[in-house]
Structure 1
Amino acid sequence: MSNRYARIRDELDRAESADPSAALEHLRIVLEEVSELLDEQLAHAVVDYELSLRAAGAKAGLTENAVGPRLARTPMLAPYARPDKRVTAKEIQRARYDKKSGAPAAGIKGNVPAAPSTTTSKPMRFKPRRNT
């Protein structure tokens, strides 16, 4: 079992024995931990077990639209997140391919910084093909 599960159990035990005002802090920690754990399990489900976004969301009690942003926050799929901080089926396919081929997370164009240019060139100009 993961350390995360032990922390959740520990915080629940503390919340159960605390007065209501103190229990709120412990329960908030539980919510955050469970949310992160759910996101990571969603990522594993769609990449490792090839569940669709809809199927994974349904199993987690989420709509298909709620799954993409959650996946984008996970370490597994963050490199594939689009600029709007979502992961779609297209990015998941890429992550599956990269995992199967053993390639490191390639990410998408919007997330990979461009290599610095070593040459300075003039901007391109439009030149008409004909004078007429």
Structure 2
Amino acid sequence: MYTPPSLRAAMAYKNVGAQSSVEFASPHQLIDLLFDGLVVALTSARGALQRGDMAAKGVQIMRAVRLLNEGLKAGLDKERGGALAERLASLYDYCIERLTLANARNDGEILAEVAALIAPVAQGWKEIGRPSVGQPA
């Protein structure tokens, strides 16, 4: 398939921007990027399901599962995080199970459920990363 040079340039620019974001991000920002990617994957999966694009739905659900399992869950420090890390691991496992079921059943309601479960955790993560009043950014 032919890709116009302008589109190739735009895609390369996007890839460099994403790579730079990761290379220069703090550990907190990396988790923030994982949450952002997860929200995008869930939204994309729901859109693909609504359009009847089952291939794209499957790709996006698998992307969400990998972000949960290999990114967010793998990044938990259960020794220092204690009970909170254990509860987050349980939440991520539950979301992975639900996403697997959503994929098998083509169930948009389950995708919405997972998005609703992740949203407050992602928002809370963003909040703790913001400087307090009087602190430098």
User: If the length of structure 2 is used for normalisation, what is the TM-score?
Assistant: 0.31
The higher radius of gyration belongs to 1
User: If the length of structure 1 is used for normalisation, what is the TM-score?
Assistant: 0.31
